[in-house]
Amino acid sequence: MTGEGARPRPLVAGNWKMNGRRSAIAEAKAVADALAARETPPRADILVCPPATLVMVMAEILKDAPLAIGAQDCHWVESGAHTGDLSAEILADAGASAIIVGHSERRAYHDETDLLVKSKQQAVHRAGLTAIVCIGETKGQRLAGQTIDVVVRQLERSLCDATTPENTVVAYEPVWAIGTGLTPTNADVADVHAAIRDRLVARFGEAGHAIRILYGGSVKPQNAKELMAVANVDGALVGGASLKAADFLGIIAAYE
């Protein structure tokens, strides 16, 4: 059995994707101000991953805020002749504390493989940051009954042996639920998260219980509380609903 004992401290992470000009900084600031004004802080860590152009300025503006800044991708080497790329070290220097790797949009549109995702996870660790490693099945794979196999295989291959609860967060994001308004049933989320937990414990021992497993895919203020209450769901990776302060705060409210 998994999902028993103390749950890891949850993480609510916003992924702005290719959205957000300077004006969007005000949304993150509004979230930070609302959190700072509370008597009781939420029982979760909060992270916002804006486009890379905003990482440095947001990390500076929000350096004392109860909200961390992360990035959405990185290259796997530290520096060199890689025009247009950003290393984990460069993003760390800009103020990022976490980096998303292996998002399904990177896997689908940039042909990222599990092996490449693992290299990126290792790069994030090398830079001293937390890697948020994304996995998830497509609609076709779900309909073919392959969900658990696909997710567990991605998990096995995308995580390096040096994975710990401090340096890695896993995000389960069914591809068909991203940006579609569709979500799996709570029972389906519970099944996949239990399978992920089992694999983490089998591979990393006790530490596997403390590695956070986020759910992502159409998380909204309306469904957050229910989804976050599912066993082995240790927070959310939020796309569209992280762009507006009111929506993101509505999701964070699941941890009040």
Residue 202: φ, ψ to 5°? -60, -35
Verify binding: residue 158, ligand PGA, rule CB under 6 A.
no
Pick 162 or 182: Cβ nearer ligand PGA: 182
- Of 240, 245, 252, 255, the one binding ligand PGA by CB under 6 A: 240
Closest to 13 (Cα-Cα) out of 238, 241, 244: 238
The site string for ligand PGA over 174-213 (x = CB under 6 A, - otherwise) reads ----xx----------------------------------
- Measured from the CB of residue 62, what is the shortest distance to ligand PGA in angstroms? 20
Does residue 239 interact with ligand PGA by CB under 6 A?
yes
Residue with smaller CB distance to ligand PGA, 32 or 132 = 132
Query: Which residues on neighbouring strands pair with residue 69, listed in sequence order?
Result: 48
Judged by beta carbon, residue 16 or residue 255, the one nearer ligand PGA is 16
Tell me the site size for ligand PGA, rule CB under 6 A. 13
- Just list the catalytic residues: 103, 173
Q: Confirm if 156 and 202 have CB atoms less than 8 A apart.
A: no
First to last CA, the chain: 27
Q: Does 50 bind ligand PGA (CB under 6 A)?
A: no
Dist. CA 98–CA 87, nearest whole Å:
12
Instruction: Find the binder of ligand PGA among 238, 245, 251, 252 (CB under 6 A).
Output: 238
Among 173, 189, 199, 215, which residue interacts with ligand PGA (rule: CB under 6 A)? 173
Residues of this chain that interact with ligand PGA (CB under 6 A) are 15, 173, 178-179, 216-219, 237-241
